[in-house]
Amino acid sequence: MANVVVVGAQWGDEGKGKIVDWLSERADVIARFQGGHNAGHTLVIDGEVFKLHALPSGVVRGGKLSVIGNGVVLDPWHLVDEIETIRAQGVEITPDTLMIAENTPLILPFHGELDRAREAQASVGKIGTTGRGIGPCYEDKVGRRVIRVADLGDETTLELRVDRALVHHNALRAGLGLDEIDREALLASLREIAPKILKYAAPVWKVLNEQRRAGRRILFEGAQGALLDIDFGTYPFVTSSNVIAGQAATGVGLGPGAIDFVLGIVKAYTTRVGEGPFPTELHDDDGQRLGERGHEFGTTTGRKRRCGWFDAVLVRQSCAISGIDGIALTKLDVLDGFDELKICVGYELDGERLDHLPTATDQQARCRPVYEIMPGWRDSTEGARSWADLPAEAVKYVRRIEELIGCPVALLSTSPEREDTILVTDPFAD
């Protein structure tokens, strides 16, 4: 059976939650492979809204196994609260339906405090993080001082891990003017949360390899977007993990041969939250209109998203780096009613034409978009479920995007509702 990776191909917020939920009907296992609860997915099912941050989008479907992989960093207190919130909406979550990798790093309260303290230092420049401790936790993972899920099960190991982390963090905190961490209070909190987390703990790598050998379909769910990748994004205004499709295997403990299809989620225009370059950003009425019609506010932070025209250069770059086989184009209905639409087909940098976004930060900031103008459409695309339901100009817009990014449209989403989706190519087809 085919296994599918879903990744964002822009700066996140592309509508991955709905697409993953829609695809999860065809999957047996849904696995998160990177990121933390800085990501937010909004699902609309039969008119009810579910807001997920740490939980895989598949939890709202019965009969599926949802997995949080080792590539994720996990705030255990947030997870417990999120589980209770989803349960209150009628979704039952048990160790039979949710599994957490034993080697998943834990986000602790001091990670968030450090994150926010750094962002408050305006003199060194803001990155635009959510302040939830994701970056500092990944730093501790690489620094070999993080506390992992399995450590909660042994008191001696837990104390050793905590002491190692505090040597590092108390020195950092002194430099930032923060009080030392209360060791005993931290240990007490970890002992209290441990049984609520450990009941979901499992050797995910082993389970998923067994599931694969048994012919189960696995859906790998990414967070954020390729342009926020720690290596290939608009550094330093990026997230702290690898977001691209290659991380899917590493982030759950499978080999790269487990990936059969990579689906890139692409919004029909472009948005970004936080700081960093954004060549097609609009500061006019068109940008305001996109934001209002697209309800462009972050699921996690509520921050207003920056909006701009579709950037084919960046999406083409993402398709190449992630090996994207097809895209799911979302929010096409937000473009209804525009007299004309613009697509960025290249950049101009100091008088030179470029077909890619350069790596150097100063050059990225100086890139100016080169636009191709297309006619808009007056008829509504909202709720369309077949190509025949779309205005001719909307079809032309989609086809032109395919040409410019060098990748076909596999799915087309025309509203937040699950079933308002046009299937062109089934990623799970053998």
For residue 195, say if its preceding peptide bond is cis, omega within 30 degrees of 0: no
Give catalytic status of residue 283 as yes or no: no
What the block records as the tokens of 141 is: 């993972």
Of 13, 28, 229, 333, the catalytic one is 13
Give catalytic status of residue 168 as yes or no: no
Provide CB contacts within 8 A for 204, sequence distance 6+.
31, 67, 68, 69, 70, 99, 100, 101, 102, 252, 253
State how far the Cα of 74 lies from the Cα of 223, in Å rounded to an integer.
13
Of 21, 28, 37, 41, the catalytic one is 41
Provide CB contacts within 8 A for 154, sequence distance 6+.
none
State how far the Cα of 324 lies from the Cα of 7, in Å rounded to an integer.
9
State how far the Cα of 211 lies from the Cα of 29, in Å rounded to an integer.
8
- Say which amino acid occupies 217: R
Q: Which of 134, 133, 48 is nearest to 85 (CA)?
A: 48
* Residues noted as catalytic: 13, 41
